Amino acid sequence: MNQWYQIALPKDSSTDKFLEIEGFLGSEEKENMTILYFEKNEKVREQLKEYNISIISDGDWKETWREYFVPLKIGSLTVVPPWKKDEGDIIINPARGFGTGHHETTRLALGFVEKVLQKDNTINTIFDAGTGSGILAIAAVRLKNTIRATAVDNDADAIENAAENLILNNVQDSITLSSEPIFKFEGKYDLVIANIISSVLYFLSDDLKRLTSKWLVLSGVLESESPVFMKRMGLDEGFELIEKTDENEWSGYLLKRRDK
């Protein structure tokens, strides 16, 4: 049986240092706490030795999520778990930190996706880098059913979870899942989305820009990085910053490619 570590922090605690731990799986807010999940191994245990570590297993995961995964409204959409499928627009079966809309970075990205689709009715193709649960690609198709999306993740568990969610939302014909690295993709997409921690965004920056023909949504950036983010991503020349939105310690960016 697979097992993971879990620690709980007060809701206002900074989580910056945990994002860099090799084996960090994700986090979610629960009432007045932030719950963080990690791979179960000795290296991670040593780095978390000053915290009260709980061990959860496959059998516990669904019940843990049932306690606090309630319908969540983001923009015009409501995200629900399968056991509340009749109460929302997007069904996400919760898995290990792959994106349910409860984390700030996912909410920021989803909000921008809806804004882009409201602004620009020519959007037909989307590339979702680091798709996780598939929530952002699914939301885009829910908002405009003619969209064709490519959703990519290098985590096999994420792809498995996303595939399940595509079926739950009956959008498997509109979204293509792939575990191929981003550099292997060619062509241009009307909207590129990347909700990934900033260290990975910096690494993927050239490919994200190369794939973008019109709009680029970036999330997963700590607000403290804002003064240097655009420059480090190389966005100052080719893209116009349309909007930056902050939620707690996180920032999201909506950018548009400049006309040549």
Q: Report pLDDT digits (tens) over 101-131.
A: 667 888 899 999 999 999 999 999 999 999 9
Give dist(CA 6, CA 23) in Å, integer: 12
Ramachandran class of 157: left when φ > 0, alpha when ψ lies in -120 to 50, beta otherwise: alpha
Give the confidence band of 260 by pLDDT, cuts at 50, 70, 90.
low
- Give the DSSP letter of residue 84: G
Q: What's the pLDDT score for residue 64?
A: 57
**Exposed, middle or buried by CB within 10 Å (0-12, 13-18, 19+), for 178?**
middle
The SS3 call for residue 86 is: helix
Per-domain boundaries in the chain: 3-67, 104-257
83 versus 138: the higher-pLDDT residue is 138
Longest dimension (CA), the chain: 55
Q: Domain 104-257, what fold? A: Rossmann fold (3.40.50)
Task: Tell me the two tokens of residue 94.
Answer: 């919760």
Contact by Cβ (8 Å): 171, 141: yes
Give pLDDT tens digits for 151-206.
999 888 888 889 989 999 999 999 999 999 999 999 999 999 999 988 899 999 99
Q: What's the pLDDT score for residue 53?
A: 87
Q: What's the pLDDT score for residue 233?
A: 94
Q: Is the pLDDT of residue 68 over 60?
A: no
> 60-96 b/e with 16+ CB inside 10 Å = b?
ebeebbeeebeebebeebebbbeeeeeebbbbbbbbb
Q: What's the pLDDT score for residue 10?
A: 83
Ramachandran class of 35: left when φ > 0, alpha when ψ lies in -120 to 50, beta otherwise: beta
Q: What's the pLDDT score for residue 67?
A: 56
Residues 156, 157, 158, 162: what is their CA dihedral angle, to the nearest 10 degrees? 100
Beta strand pairing call for 212-222 and 239-247: unpaired
173 versus 33: the higher-pLDDT residue is 173
CATH 3.30.70 fits domain 3-67:
yes
Helix H or strand E encompassing 212 = strand 212-222
**pTM score above 0.85:** no
- In the chain, which residue ranges form alpha helices assigned H by DSSP? 16-19, 42-47, 58-68, 104-119, 135-143, 156-168, 198-211, 226-233
